[in-house]
Homo-oligomer: A and B are copies of this chain.
């Protein structure tokens, strides 16, 4: 039997609230088995960019990463946020090691080709160094990824944290029984966006197609769910979506997605 591996992604809302982050890191540090954390951190980057006189450019909710934005992102994602998380996990006896995709060549990517929109230094993932990640896990380390990759030619690239989480889960799917957790502010995938208790507890391929037809999965949930099924179709065992309480044994209110 393959050993189990949990890959958790937390977004800006958790990362940038000190009390929530602390609570999350305590839950995370207590999780048993092999685990990997992936964090975003877009809001703080926008804020620090502003202090430096650099305006964030967004198109359709996605960041346009010009050279100056890349500098800010490298400072905030790989520096400030990543090292704070690592130091806090160390304080909780979790032997964390912070990584960008350039470190140990863990995630290779290429600059997104320009079509309608030039996203600048945005990276689309080509592959994950699953051999090295597996070695690090075996050494008792917990990798903590920021949302950055590299192209192998010296260029750092900004890469969506959801994508990093799913690609890492896919890359390690052959060696591990992988569960992917997307932690966000909501309780899960909701039947009615205005009702936080209307969580759909289980989604599989058939119900996914129904939900799509009914228009229940829409807006920001569309790429998130596409990402989940991309992972499931490529060897990931299970995806869970919900708030951090899903990491506790007694919380039943979150969405589990399987094929």
The chain A residues found within 8 Å of chain B, CB to CB, are 48, 51-53, 71, 74-80, 82-84, 86-88, 90-91, 95-100, 102-105, 132, 135, 139, 141, 148, 150, 152-156
Contacts and interface: CB of A to CB of B under 8 A. Distances in A.
Grouping DSSP codes into helix (H, G, I), strand (E, B) and loop, the A interface class, with mixed when no group exceeds half, is helix
Contacts of A51: 51-53
Contacts of A80: 71, 74-75, 79
A48 B74 contact: no
Contacts of A82: 78-79
Contacts of A91: 152-154
Contact of A83 (B97, B152, B156): B156
Closest 7 CB pairs of A and B: A79-B79, A75-B75, A91-B154, A75-B79, A87-B102, A78-B79, A97-B104
Given A79-B75, A100-B98, A87 B48 contact: no
| Most-contacted residue by chain B among A75, A87, A153, A156 (CB, 10 A) | A87
B74 A102 contact: no
A154 B74 contact: no
A250 to B, nearest CB: 27
Contact of A139 (B52, B71, B95, B135): B135
A245 to B, nearest CB: 23
Contacts of A154: 87-88, 90-91
